[in-house]
Structure 1
Amino acid sequence: MALFSREFIAVPDDKKGQIVFKWPDVTIRRFTHAIVNADEVAMFVNTGQVVQTMGPGRHPIDADELPGLGAIVDFATGGNAYRAELYFVGTREYTGYRFGGRVDDVQDPRTGLVVTLRVFGEYALRVIDPARLITNLTATVDVTDNDRIAGWVSEQLLKVLRTNVTTQVVANGWPILGLSVHSPEIEQAAITSANGQLEAYGIALTRMGNFDINLAEEDAKQLKQLAKDTSYSQLAGGFQQYAAGEMALGAGQGMAQGGGATDGAFLAAGFALPGMMAGAMQQQQQQRPAPQAPPPAPTPAPAAAGGAACASCSTPNPAGAKFCMSCGTAMAPAVKHCTECGTELPGAARFCANCGHAAS
């Protein structure tokens, strides 16, 4: 096994999933063969500079075959080895890396409420320039663990999203509730912006998945309640009318459940409701058309000359009528007076009850 490891250099089977694999020995014997898989690129690096690149295939480690090695001969071995770092970099797509966290505090354009946006998702990446990855990133990132590279990429992605999402929400006036409708636009803009940042490090995001923008639980609850109040107040004709109805409903429910704590709310509603109801009634009266004046009552026609008006229907009748000619009601007998003493006599009297004089 020692001989094999000395004659052939390749990425071990248990390390093939790594984005970057660094060969552990910096002294590489001449005529050793480097085996580079189809989805890899191998590079010799000396003093921070890439001196030789090898594509897929089997390569003899010899300056005659790889001219760049001529400058990194290890003289301590009598010229039989090269002293350099050897990196294998995967060029396939690497998937399933997660990111997420707080984005920014954003004011909802519809309600004016300030809420905290959070974003979560997955992404896939690919190495587009192995030399840039090795020279610009491996000095600060532990390349023996993909999560170190992916963690750094996730930080760059969140950095871009903090600016990108806020700018899009404010510029387009997107309401926070229902923001997921615009996820494809935000996702594509995030990939474009992030790749602008990652280009200098030889990495590119190829796609994203399960992209989700959401709120903290308290912010979501508060925003939904405010949206509900706004909609209901519009339906009720104004916020005062809606608030009055909510207070009365809450007080009634509290009393029905026997809660003493609702007495204060009910009293508050009692004090507030008259003013609110008066305002609502005044508003309704202003909107209601003015009532029309009732028609004038008919003026009874004057009684016929010498006659009397019927006591039941007020119809005038001729003199001497015993029954009303309109409704048939008996007419009151005419009143007469004694010609001798002036005493008032009923219509049927034949003699005066005061002086006995014959009635005329």
Structure 2
Amino acid sequence: MAWFEREFIAVPPSHKNQLVHKWPDVNIRRFSRVIVDAGEIALFVHTGQVAAVMTPGRHQVDATELPGLGALLDKLSGGNAYRAELYFVGTKEFPGNKFGGRLDDILDPRSEQIVTLRVFGEYALAVRDPAALITGLTGTVDLTDPGSVISWCSDLLLRSMRITVAAGTTGGRWPILGLAAYLPEIDTEVLSATNQQLRRYGLLITRLGNFDINLAPEDTDRLKRLAKDVRYIQLAGGFQPYAAGELALGAGQGMALGGGSAVAGGFLGAGLGLSAAGQQLGTAPPASGPPPGHAPARGAAGSNGPLAAEDAGQVECAQCQVGIPAGSSFCTGCGRRLAARLCTGCGATLGPGARFCGACGSPADT
């Protein structure tokens, strides 16, 4: 057979960087030449079993050179073809494979807050046993799809990452905040767990690169605020001094921005709220006034006696003893009409509740 009549089989240039490339024809002409480049291995597979393996170089498709092909001779072709699947498997390292997504909702043991962890990164993949790869993944993933094996490995890696990180954080070995300091430990444990499962398929993740475990943005802000508040409460000696300090800072910032009276009013209201909270906790100072069970002295400040009413420009109603403004026609306590009285000494009009005449000093007629 002339040289130019021979068929050459090789990986197309556009598929050189694929992990697995399957030759589309299952009828391989006898005496064809298979070209296996460096970093590749070719395998003839029949009914899930590897019939022949070809290392880098040129190989003639014939049972004399590849003894395993003897049982694959297609009789319908008159002995001119072998019926088998031909796979080219890359043996070099394949870096830059993406993986990532949501890990889990984790309870942070330090803050007792539930947060969502995520991971994003890359990894490098290599084939250690091409025969195990082809026979192990046949029927599991579509080997004719260039990205199917990579996608399957990415999902497996994410699953191992989820289990490892969840166990480490909930167990208290790794804190949620500052998790980046423990990435080397996470790297080692995740690779070990993942490669234990990949080994049976002839695959190996050689390294992780540029991966990061982080929180959802809202969870990051929440934990930072909580950590700050807890630390400041400890430094202030309790919640009430810390809250009062926060109110003072807020009021000062608001007034500096032109908040003036509105901020001052809000600060006063918040202060009253703290006072009420302090009373509930038993920490507020006692209110001024006489001791419980003691009535105030008549005429003393804060009492309702006649002297206090007169000092305030008021008089006492003769019926209900409520202090009312001088010159009123009716009592504000009982509604009684206050009739005008005349002094028996000089005839001048006396104000409601007056005991002496303001004109002559004569005692009023009560």
TM-score (norm 1): 0.72
Cα pair distance change 1:16/1:74, threshold 3 Å: same
Task: Indicate how the Cα distance of structure 1 residues 243 and 62 shifts in structure 2: closer, same or farther if over 3 A, else same.
Answer: same
Deviation of the 1:264 alpha carbon = 5.2
Alignment of structure 1 residues 309-348 onto 2, 5 Å: none
In the alignment, structure 1 residue 279 sits paired with structure 2 residue 283: yes
SS of the counterpart of 1:180? helix
Output the amino acid matched with 2:72.
Answer: I
TM-aligned CA deviation for residue 109 of structure 1? 2.5
2:29 corresponds to which residue? Answer: 29
Q: Distance in 2 between matches of 1:190 and 1:254?
A: 50
Residue 147 (structure 1) shift: 2.6
The equivalent of 2:259 in structure 1 is 258
Describe the superposition over 1:328-356 as per-residue Cα deviations: whole angstroms up to 9, x where unpaired.
Answer: xxxxxxxxxxxxxxxxxxxxxxxxxxxxx
Q: Kindly tell me: are residues 117 and 262 of structure 1, through their superposed partners in 2, closer, same or farther at Cα, counting changes over 3 Å?
A: farther
Correspondence for 1:297: none
Structure with bigger gyration radius:
1
Give % identity: 57
Counterpart CA distance in 1 for 2:5 and 2:166 is 54
Where 1:101 maps in the other structure, the secondary structure is strand
Match of 2:63 in 1: 63
Q: CA deviation at 1:265?
A: 6.2
- The 3-state SS of whatever aligns with 1:271 is helix
Return the letter of the residue paired with 1:272. Answer: L
User: Contact between 2:109 and 2:172, CA under 8 Å: does it hold in 1?
Assistant: no
3-state DSSP of counterpart to 1:86 = strand
C-alpha distance in 2 between matches for 1:230 and 1:186: 29
- Between 119-128 and 273-282, report the one with greater CA deviation: 273-282
Deviations 1:193-226 (A, max 9, x none): 1101111221110001112110000000000000
Which residue of the partner structure matches residue 160 of structure 1?
Answer: 160
- 1:220-271 per-residue CA deviation (whole Å, 9 max, x = no partner) reads 0000000110111111111222123223433454455438588556413323
SS in 2 for 1:24: coil
> Cα–Cα, structure 1 residues 273 and 95, in superposed 2: closer, same or farther, change >3 Å?
same
C-alpha distance in 2 between matches for 1:155 and 1:65: 40
Q: Which moved more, 1:257-266 or 1:182-191?
A: 257-266
Shift in alpha-carbon separation, 1:188–1:272, aligned structure 2, 3 A: same
SS across alignment from 1:165: helix
Q: Is the 8 A contact 2:22 2:88 kept in 1?
A: yes
Aligned to 2:106: 106
> Which runs of no fewer than 5 residues in structure 1 stay unpaired?
283-360
Aligned length: 280
Is contact 1:118–1:215 with CA below 8 Å preserved after alignment?
Answer: yes
Contact 1:126 1:206 in 2 (8 A): yes
Quote how far apart the aligned CAs of 1:98 are. 1.1
Match of 2:231, as an amino acid? Answer: S
From the superposition, tell whether residues 250 and 63 of structure 1 become closer, same or farther in structure 2 (CA, over 3 Å).
Answer: same
Partner of 2:85: 85
CA contact (8 A) 1:109 1:174 kept: no
1:166 and 1:158 map into 2 onto residues whose CA distance is 12
For residue 269 of structure 2, the aligned residue among 248, 259, 267 is 267
Q: CA deviation at 1:11?
A: 1.1
Find the residue that maps to 1:204 and give its secondary structure: strand
Q: Classify 1:147/1:280 alpha carbon distance in 2 versus 1 (closer, same or farther; 3 Å).
A: farther
What does residue 207 of structure 1 align with?
Answer: 207
In structure 1, the residue matched to 2:228 is: 228
The Cα offsets for residues 299-342 of structure 1, whole Å up to 9 and x where unpaired, read as xxxxxxxxxxxxxxxxxxxxxxxxxxxxxxxxxxxxxxxxxxxx
Greater Cα shift, 79-88 or 52-61: 52-61
Task: Tell me, in whole angstroms, the C-alpha distance in 1 between the residues paired with 2:151 and 2:12.
Answer: 24
CA distance in 1, matches of 2:102, 2:154: 13
Alignment match, 1:169: 169
Which residue pairs with 2:352 in the alignment?
none
Go from structure 1 to structure 2 and tell me whether the alpha carbon gap of 1:230 and 1:161 turns closer, same or farther (over 3 Å shift).
Answer: same
* Aligned amino acid, residue 259 of structure 2: G
Query: How many angstroms apart in 1 are the aligned matches of 2:233 and 2:175?
Result: 19
Q: For residues 153 and 263 of structure 1, what CA distance do their matches in structure 2 show?
A: 62
Letter in 2 for 1:78: G
**What amino acid is the match of 2:68?**
G
Tell me the SS of whatever aligns to 2:193.
Answer: helix
> In 2, are the aligned partners of 1:44 and 1:85 still within 8 Å (CA)?
yes
**Secondary structure of the structure 1 residue equivalent to 2:51:** strand
- Matched with 1:8 is 8
Partner of 1:322: none
Q: Give SS of 1:63's match.
A: coil
Query: Residue 244 of structure 1 contacts residue 273 of structure 1 at CA under 8 Å; is this kept in 2?
Result: no
Query: Does the aligned pair in 2 maintain the 1:241–1:280 contact within 8 Å?
Result: no
Alpha-carbon deviations, 1:46-70, whole Å to 9, x = none? 1222111111221111112111111
Q: What's the counterpart of residue 216 of structure 1? A: 216
Deviation at 1:144, TM superposition (A): 4.2
Q: 1:216 to 1:199 in 2, by over 3 A?
A: same
How high is the TM-score relative to the length of structure 2? 0.71
**CA distance in 2 between partners of 1:203 and 1:170 (Å):** 31
